[in-house]
Amino acid sequence: MNCRHCQAQLQHSFLDLGYAPPSNAYLTAAALSRPERYYPLRLWVCEQCWLVQTEDYADAGELFDADYAYFSSTSSSWLAHARTYVERMREALALGASSLVIEVASNDGYLLRNFVEAGVPCLGVEPTASTADAAERLGIPVLREFFGEALGQRLAEEGRQADLLLGNNVFAHVPDINDFSRGLKAALKPGGTLTLEFPHLLRLIELVQFDTVYHEHFSYLSLYSVQRILDVAGLRIHDVEELNTHGGSLRIHASHQDDARPSSAAVDAVLRAEQQAGLRDMATYQGFQARADRLKDDLLGFLLEQKRAGQRVAAYGAAAKGNTILNYAGIKPDLLPCVFDAAPSKQGRYLPGSHVPIRSAQELDEVRPDLLLILPWNITDEVMAQNQRIREWGGRFVTAVPRLEVK
């Protein structure tokens, strides 16, 4: 396999999680009796541009289909994050009735709804029908397509270039990252601003966040690699922010290369931090597998101990990252009988691979687990605040990343 950005031959493995089904391919009861599709789940690192990437097997059209079950609005903290961003960008860029905001991978309208309420024209690009339907019910116009160079050029030809072009947690999800970047260049108005948010590879390595690896994430991004990719497309990063979302993310601010805005000191600071952490040193990547295996073994051993002790264990949050760790550890309903989730799109279904049943969050009081394993550890505080009632029967919370911890 060659690097999906610079085409150099990939020779260095970063992580091998065996075989797994797509992490968002939640199953109906009828589907349990049919064969389930598995793909190798391996990461490679490019020694030329330092892009970390999955081995290519899964097709994006299959991963992001019409029945896609991830709805961004399920998380209250994520809604608040989006609202704060919108308020800030409206003021900073003086966005108004004559502006245009385009969000790539707009999901269920979790963010653009704020621009609609403020009277700022907007457009969502979202290929998954289930989430696009939800966004349109909020009054958000949506193009139901995968974004790339062809669509970016079409928007430009139609006079629909963006004053603000944004993509939250989509840059890692695209199989052809060069084509996608050229599309961003075409769809951005001269003088316009591009922002992209993505989980930071530095935090993944530091905190052993190996469960954020799944087929829908084609790339694992550092500022260094993103800077190289956007530069080739004719875009320049002029600012970067470090965020707490998703276990540690970056939000880059970019513009056309001839834009007069100066580059902030934050760009150089993050690049230095990455270099000091060894993100351009192959030894950093070669020791990661053993660290991930220890974390997986700790969780499996813990669940076995609880079963022997007669403890009732359940999980909360049917998240993609949870599917990665459950499948890699071989955890089934005998160790984890159910997972509770607030998203109606997932309730009544089963986790891919492990076949753990997904129940409504309201059913937590019926099961009354002694231990509640929070799979989406990035919103642990939110989950604990919403489910403090388990303390009434002596219940405790558990997280497995970045280390096994009972709270």
| Contact between 259 and 191 (Cβ < 8 Å) | yes
Q: What is the pLDDT of residue 37?
A: 92
Number of neighbours of residue 322 by Cβ within 10 angstroms: 28
Angle ∠(131,150,177) on CA atoms, nearest 5: 75
Residue 169 is given by DSSP the state S
Q: What are the residue boundaries of the structural domains of the chain, listed by start?
A: 72-285, 298-406
| Model pLDDT for residues 327-352, shown as the tens digit of each residue | 999 999 999 999 999 989 899 999 99
| Contact between 339 and 353 (Cβ < 8 Å) | no
Which strands form 249-256's sheet, in the order they lie side by side? 142-143, 122-125, 101-104, 162-168, 188-199, 249-256, 235-243
Note the Cα 287 to chain centre separation in Å. 24
Residue ranges in 240-332 assigned as alpha helix (H): 265-276, 282-286, 288-308, 320-329
Query: Which amino acid, 238?
Result: H
Q: What is the CA radius of gyration of the chain?
A: 21
Query: Would 72-285 and 298-406 be classified into the same CATH topology?
Result: yes
| Contact between 364 and 388 (Cβ < 8 Å) | no
* SS3 call for 243: strand
Q: What is the pLDDT of residue 247?
A: 87
Six-digit token string for 136 = 């349109």
| Contact between 379 and 341 (Cβ < 8 Å) | no
Q: What is the pLDDT of residue 58?
A: 56
CATH 3.40.50.150 assigned to domain 72-285? The reply is: yes
Instruction: State the CATH class of domain 298-406.
Output: alpha beta
Q: Which parts of 244-295 are beta strand (E)?
A: 249-256
* pLDDT tens for the 407 residues of the chain, in order: 899 999 999 999 999 999 999 988 999 999 999 999 999 999 999 999 999 999 876 565 555 555 555 666 677 888 999 999 999 999 999 999 999 999 999 999 999 999 999 999 999 999 988 899 999 999 999 999 999 999 999 999 999 999 999 999 999 999 999 999 999 999 999 999 999 999 999 999 999 999 999 998 999 999 999 999 999 999 999 999 999 988 899 999 999 999 999 999 999 999 999 999 999 999 999 989 999 999 999 999 999 999 999 999 999 999 999 999 999 999 999 999 999 999 898 999 999 999 999 999 999 999 999 999 999 999 999 999 999 999 999 999 999 999 999 99
Q: How far is CA 298 from CA 290, 301, 403, in A?
A: 12, 5, 8
